[in-house]
Structure 1
Amino acid sequence: MTAEPRTFPPRPLSAVKAVYARQAGCPSSFALTVADFEPWEEGVQFETADACTVPGWPDAEVAELHAAFGSGVREELEELAKLNPGTTVAVAVVLRSIKVHEVDSHPRAFRQAGRQAVRNALSEAYGPPSKPWPRLP
């Protein structure tokens, strides 16, 4: 049985929160993000809001976290397209805010938060998955 063709996202999804926190020892990981997923042209358009800054952090480091989040979003959406061939990805993702930990925040944590944000947006748009998501590393 094949799934019905669908486009992601089916409607605007505002303030999708994602948290990636791992405290298994050193090094630990922490990223908290809020993003909007809006219908757009086919493909993935990613941008950050002007207010998406971190006081006391150099702009270059914050830009690296933003880029890592965008990479995670793209990776997870590529997986969506592979697992659900009838799904068209046509989305603009706007990263609205981030929270960091002075020691435990790094690009890998924000990449994983990007993947989690997509999963959260999918759940909001279509309901929970029929089987659990694979665990993020």
Structure 2
Amino acid sequence: MDCETRAFPPCPIRGVQAVYARQSSCPADFALVTVDFEPGEEGITFLVAADLDIHGWDHRSGISQSDIATFQTALDMGVREELAEQGVGTTVAVAVVLRSMRVHELDSHAKAFQAVGHVAVRNALTLAYGPSPRPQRRRA
């Protein structure tokens, strides 16, 4: 195996929390998830845990079961987009398991869940490999 190639994830990374919240206007953006990144077959498999915990959603909220499914699809898309950006040198072989999600009746929407997918991957990469090196400042 090429020493420059790394596999993601190198081991199970469980309980990764990610939040995307912006209060710049009305409506705002809000999505919070907890996901596991499990080593799997090459590629990306997205799974929803059978005991998925959804905070902020019940029969009185304005969020439908269809909305929840849309949020999950958007999360999957965000995870895939961020992992695709890892490029050459990273072999992705992961099962992403959605364990919990928090929604807000007004501020949760598909774009927020797509964005939180990116955040979740970045958080998992930091847990797996440490923080990304900071760009060096040029001295004048």
**TM-score, structure 2 as length reference:** 0.86
Give 1 or 2: higher helix fraction.
Answer: 1
RMSD after superposition: 1.6
Counting matched residue pairs gives: 128
> Following the alignment from structure 1 to structure 2, what is the Cα–Cα distance between the partners of residues 99 and 105?
9
- What is the CA–CA distance in structure 1 between the aligned matches of 2:79 and 2:134, rounded to whole Å? 21
Match of residue 107 from structure 1: 110
**1:114 counterpart SS class:** helix
Counterpart of 2:109 in structure 1: which amino acid? H
Matches for 1:1-137 after TM superposition, within 5 Å:
4-52=4-52, 53=54, 54-56=57-59, 57-80=63-86, 82=87, 85-131=88-134
With structure 1 as the length reference, what TM-score do the two structures score?
0.88
Kindly name which structure, 1 or 2, has the bigger radius of gyration based on alpha carbons: 2
**Which structure 2 segments of 5+ residues have no match?**
136-140
Q: Which SS does the other structure have where 1:68 is aligned?
A: helix
Cα distance, 1:105 vs structure 2:
0.3
Q: 1 or 2, which has the higher strand percentage?
A: 2
How far does residue 55 in structure 1 lie from its aligned partner after superposition? 2.2
Distance 2:58 2:12 in 1: 29
Percent identical pairs in the alignment equals 54
User: Structure 1, unaligned stretches of length 5 or more?
Assistant: 133-137
In 2, Cα distance between equivalents of 1:127 and 1:46:
24
SS of residue in 2 equivalent to 1:61 = helix
Q: What amino acid is the match of 1:93? A: V
Output the amino acid matched with 1:110. F
- Of 20-29 and 88-97, more deviation after overlay is shown by 20-29
Match of 2:138 in 1: none
| 1:34 counterpart letter in structure 2 | T
> What secondary structure is seen at the aligned counterpart in 2 of 1:55?
coil
Aligned-partner Cα distance in 2 for 1:105–1:119: 21
